[in-house]
Structure 1
Amino acid sequence: MQTVIVIGVISFASPRALAVGLALAVPLTLTACGEGGESDPAVAGDCPTTPVDVVVSVEQWGKIVTALGGACADVTTVLSGNSGDPHDFEPTPADAAAFTGAQLVVINGGHYDEWAVRLAESTAPDAVVVDAVALLGGDHEGHEHEDHDHDHGGANPHAWYSPAAVTDVADAVTATLTELAPDARGYLEARHTEFTAAMQPYRALIDKIRAGATGKTYAATESLFDDMAAALGLTNRTPHGYQVASSNHADPSPADLDAFLRLLSDRGVDVLIYNTQTEGSLPQQLRTAAERAGVPVVDVTETPAPDAATFEAWQVAQLTALAAALGIEA
């Protein structure tokens, strides 16, 4: 049976139910580095016990898990960089072997990395599974839309763009690592404290943009950034038909594309959010229309930028560019 982390109790279920919270059986009293002897190993960089074997499906979460686990987690990230589309990824036998013996598996969920769900079930049945989308309860906060409801039949699978999911996953990973390696409690608490401190520029930028973005609108070539945009208080004006088609990996109708192009040419939004990793000529057509109309274009990526050493560095760079495009001093 696979352990499922839930708020207040540890229960058991199949990996399709997956982790949805923190176990009170694994209390976390987070302390700063250097506060007492237990935190000293974190300063030295040595794990006081055998590291936990961890497998992470995608790099977006891999960077976070690596930062939290430090020397007390042997982390294998299956899909790194631009090595494949997680939706269509076909794991190799070597990828499957990476799950063997895993004590903790961290996945995105939301049908984004179903291959990892299957491998966790078949190859690591005793592992604890932390699922980012499940932690949000499948109830991702909606955006403020104009005249229509962008309902795509479920949570946005790009959970790493949800600040709430980032916090939930970090807490769940630390709680689980502490349960699996109780002798490393002080080390892991210190790592969590360090991660929280490192994320302060990210949190501060979110607060600053939200405070200055009242009444600001956006459109997006994909739904990738929507959860972050919602957290920032931006209003989504992406044409409904276009966004539904994009979310279902289908081509928009000519009418939906025309509506998007007219929105941009009329300067009907304050900014265009552009996923640079999207293939095809259609996104470029939208970018060209925005640039011709003088609508600022903010580039975002689905996977961490190659030059970003950490998750927070990747996110801060994008948020800084967005703040500039909106005329908000960062």
Structure 2
Amino acid sequence: MRINRFIASGVVAAVTAAALTGCSSAGAGDSGKITVVGAENEYSDVAAQIGGKYVTASAVMSNPNTDPHTFEASASVARELSAAQLVIQNGVGYDDFMAKLEKASPNSARRVITAQTVLGLPDSTRNPHLWYDPKTMPAVAAEIAADLEKLDPAHKTTFEQNLTTFDDSLHAWTSALAAFKSAHGGTPVAVTEPVADYALEAAGVDVETPWSLQAAIMNDTDPSPQQSAAQDSLFTAKQVKVFLYNQQVTDSITAHYLSLAHANDVPVVGVYETMPTGYTYQRWMEAEVAALSKAVTDGTSTEKL
């Protein structure tokens, strides 16, 4: 979802509050730990893994039961950012509200990591869900480790060791993607929007849903009749083996496709934009691949992790 289109009122409120309260730069928190804020909780989770006991990490968006469309940045978020020494955000238009809040809560010592910049992606990148791309988190994690080392040189060795541990822990996910591609490459699927498309591409899956429909739903607009008819036929003509939908955004359009999937015995997999409770980033990614595999091999649906 391009969340920035839906949070203007929240940003204005937070920016105003930040200005009125005179938020200023801050060093380490009372605990002496580095204060890290992730725009999304998948990024703050990775920062917590790299920083270990030497960081305090929190996230602006962390509730997987909330529709990202309705997210509103509050005054408390602005205050939180004012104290952050390191901020990690996605970019590509997904969390543009962060730049506005950072500007409203200036902190000359604050470091900002943007996944889009790290990956060298243009603003025209059409799919903003970068954390599903296996290339994203290793690159972002390396930047996190580098910035933590600059903020806390005394624990450089620990950050480097934690980075190695994190990189190694991603092998289970990337191996699962490779194994799926080897066994089930070319599997046709339908989606509502491109939440997990990067991972699906890595798994060798063929996304049959027209991009124009994915983009319409992602940007909260109604698909055209032609787009809807093409999507419907994927189910009624049994042209797909799995249906993946954004579990956080359930509306009449999603309900319609879910109904078609159920009626035509197409197993369903729910994917998330916000990391579900109880997961680390890498365990979350592994769980999504496992759910896809179960759907293909034995027709089991996993609509919610």
- Tell whether the structures are fold-level matches, with TM greater than 0.5: yes
Q: 1:220 aligns with which of 178, 188, 191?
A: 191
Q: Which residue of 1 aligns with 2:229?
A: 258
TM-score, length of structure 2 as denominator length: 0.80
> What per-residue deviation string (whole Å, max 9, x for no partner) do you get for residues 121-171 of structure 1?
33244222111122222269xxxxxxxxxxxx5241111111111111111
Q: Which residue of 2 aligns with 1:77?
A: 59
Write the mapping of 1:67-216 to structure 2, written as runs, cut at 5 A. 67-82=49-64, 84-86=66-68, 89-126=71-108, 127-138=110-121, 153-216=124-187
The structure-2 alpha-carbon separation of the partners of 1:240 and 1:197, relative to structure 1 and needing over 3 Å to count, comes to closer
Contact 1:242 1:257 survives alignment (8 Å): yes
Higher helix share: 2
| Amino acid of the structure 1 residue aligned with 2:215 | V
1:325 aligns with 2:295: yes
Which secondary structure state, in structure 1, belongs to the residue aligned with residue 83 of structure 2?
Answer: coil
Could you tell me how far apart the structure 2 residues matched to 1:274 and 1:180 are? 40
How far the C-alpha of 1:279 sits from its partner, in A, is 2.4
How far the C-alpha of 1:275 sits from its partner, in A, is 1.5
Could you tell me how far apart the structure 1 residues matched to 2:117 and 2:203 are? 22
Q: Which residue of 1 aligns with 2:280?
A: 310
How far the C-alpha of 1:318 sits from its partner, in A, is 1.3
Write the mapping of 1:224-303 to structure 2, written as runs, cut at 5 A. 224-303=195-274
> What per-residue deviation string (whole Å, max 9, x for no partner) do you get for residues 255-307 of structure 1?
2212111111111122211221112121121122122222222121221222x
| Amino acid of the structure 1 residue aligned with 2:128 | P
Contact 2:191 2:209 survives alignment (8 Å): yes
TM-score, length of structure 1 as denominator length: 0.75
Contact 1:51 1:181 survives alignment (8 Å): no
| Amino acid of the structure 1 residue aligned with 2:111 | V
Contact 1:105 1:120 survives alignment (8 Å): no
The structure-2 alpha-carbon separation of the partners of 1:124 and 1:164, relative to structure 1 and needing over 3 Å to count, comes to farther
Q: Which residue of 2 aligns with 1:46?
A: none
How many percent of aligned residue pairs carry the same amino acid?
A: 29
| Amino acid of the structure 2 residue aligned with 1:114 | D
Q: 2:41 aligns with which of 41, 48, 59?
A: 59
Contact 2:66 2:248 survives alignment (8 Å): no
How far the C-alpha of 1:51 sits from its partner, in A, is 2.6
Structure 2 unmatched ranges of 5 or more: 1-30, 299-305
How far the C-alpha of 1:85 sits from its partner, in A, is 4.7
